[in-house]
Structure 1
Amino acid sequence: MFVMKCGGSTLAALPDVFFEDLTRLQAEGEIPVIVHGGGPAISDTLGKLGIETEFVNGLRKTNEAVLDVVEMVLAGQINKQIVRNIQRSGANAVGLSGVDGHLIQAQPVANAHEVGLVGDVTRVNAELIQGIVGMGYMPVIAPVGIGADGGQRYNINADTAAGAVASHLGVERMIVVTDVPGILKTVDGEKRVLPSVTVREIDEMIASGDIYGGMIPKVRAAVQCIQGEVREVVIVNGSEPQVLSKVLKGEGIGTRIVKA
């Protein structure tokens, strides 16, 4: 079992060979647990409905109206699209949100007075995930959480949710699928993929300008997955043929981010 995190827009753009690789891995007994996001699709739907949205330190300010759209887009539209893509390739998948079976329990984040109904993960129902995997299905999880009393829903950052799921499952390595081949650094006038970096080195590279622009949020999102039992995160390009198989075989692909 391994945990894979992917943005909703990235997953939607992945080629058929990516899902064929997932199918092959499942047939060989390697079962991925997928946690996905969907920020751009949420923003698009909120705009169409005339609901204002804003971000505070990278977190979407969430009230009940925004949360209704978050749940609709993540647990409905994107989650089921991913399940359809997987099943079309011949694998078996089950789509869930963190609400189902108290899969992801959450509590308000520390700055809830600023961001509203955004949650921090307090517990993951690992037994439910293991049960689904044991039945031969690939879990596809939308990061909407539920309070301990089962009443209040929470919008959870997908990277935070993925890291928590991996940690509660006892997984030490996570794969983050993006649209870039890894962390790039200019060396002798050429951009090269760094095979391995530490969290501290990433902070230094952002400060120095070696990591810049659209790469900053991708890298910071990957770092956010390193929590609990998770010791490393591998950033890879999902369009690379058999990319997941290559990572699991230990081939030098993408960038490994390690704690230290």
Structure 2
Amino acid sequence: MDTIILKIGGSVFEKLSASFYKTVVDLKQSKVCHPIIVHGGGPEINQALKQANVETPFVDGLRVTTEEVLKIAEMVMSGSINKRMVAKIQQAGGTAFGLSGVDGSLLQTEPVDHSGKLGFVGQVKKVNDAWLKLIMDQGGIPVISPIGVDESATRYNINGDMAAAGVASVMKGKLIFISDIPGVMETIQDKKVIHSKLSKTQIDSMISSGVIYGGMIPKVRSAVNALSGGVTESVIINGLSPNDLKDYMKGQVVGTKIMMGEVQHV
């Protein structure tokens, strides 16, 4: 049975309907695929940092992470969001297991930037996939909070998109970014256009020109990196559209598919 890795962003988490989680549970129970969820938590982390009067800048969509920021990010993602997401899956009739990347050294991590300018921001070096396979084989859906750990037990904040790409590369599954928009959009001749397919070359150009910016940058870069790492397919779809996930799993054209090769049309 194939594996799909669903990256659910913090901005879309609370907007997702019960039917979305029911679809995920149905995919598992009908043996269409093994779902794995990796989630973020940006907006709630921002709110918690604001309440604590802690300022944190972003560099290319990555949050500069001090020890204080890491503590708050871990509390929000591993302590709050992760368990609420587990509850939503179980309310939909599934069996979910909430994990941090620290648990069992699930997400073995190294710094994104060794100069230290990003602080405790990590990237996935290795995934201890034996734990994921154990949970999936027992009928469970893993729900992963993107806090990783290195060999010396130092914890790191991992961008959720990058964490999902790391897991997808190891599991050799499809990587599906669940967003609150229908894909990568661009205004062309005063009309908003959804790109159904984008190549790496197009993505690089759109980042340079500012069409793709902010939090979408690590998303599309993670999608490309995942493809080069062995992921079979990367796509960005709208989780708020009732049937997008179902339609995508049926092979229909949904959202924006990220390709390694050239794409000739929008």
Letter of the 2:223 counterpart: C
- 1:21: how far off? 0.9
- Counterpart in 2 of 1:226? 224
Structure 1 residue 3 corresponds to structure 2 residue 5: yes
Residue identity over aligned pairs, in percent, reads 40
- Counterpart in 2 of 1:27? 29
Match of 2:66 among 51, 63, 67: 63
Structure 1's unaligned 5+ residue stretches are none
Answer yes or no: is the 8 Å Cα contact 2:8–2:40 preserved in 1: yes
The change in CA–CA distance for 1:156 and 1:220 in structure 2 (over 3 A counts) is: closer
Letter of the 2:28 counterpart: Q
- 1:187: how far off? 5.2
1:79-132 Cα distance to aligned partner (Å, 9 max, x none): 111111111111111110100011001122234421111112111011111111
- Partner Cα distance (1:62, 1:207) in 2: 25
Cα RMSD, aligned residues only: 1.9
Match of 1:108 among 111, 116, 129: 111
- Partner Cα distance (1:91, 1:84) in 2: 9
Answer yes or no: is the 8 Å Cα contact 2:207–2:217 preserved in 1: no
The aligned runs of 1:164-243 (5 Å cut-off) are 164-171=166-173, 173-186=174-187, 189-208=190-209, 211=211, 217-218=215-216, 220-227=218-225, 228-243=229-244
SS at match of 1:72: helix
- Partner Cα distance (1:202, 1:245) in 2: 26
Structure 1 residue 77 corresponds to structure 2 residue 80: yes
Structure 2's unaligned 5+ residue stretches are 262-266
How many residues align structurally? Answer: 255
TM-score (norm 1): 0.91
- 1:52: how far off? 2.7
Letter of the 1:159 counterpart: D
- 1:230: how far off? 2.2
Letter of the 1:177 counterpart: I
- Partner Cα distance (2:76, 2:192) in 1: 36
- Partner Cα distance (1:219, 1:67) in 2: 22
- Counterpart in 1 of 2:259? 258
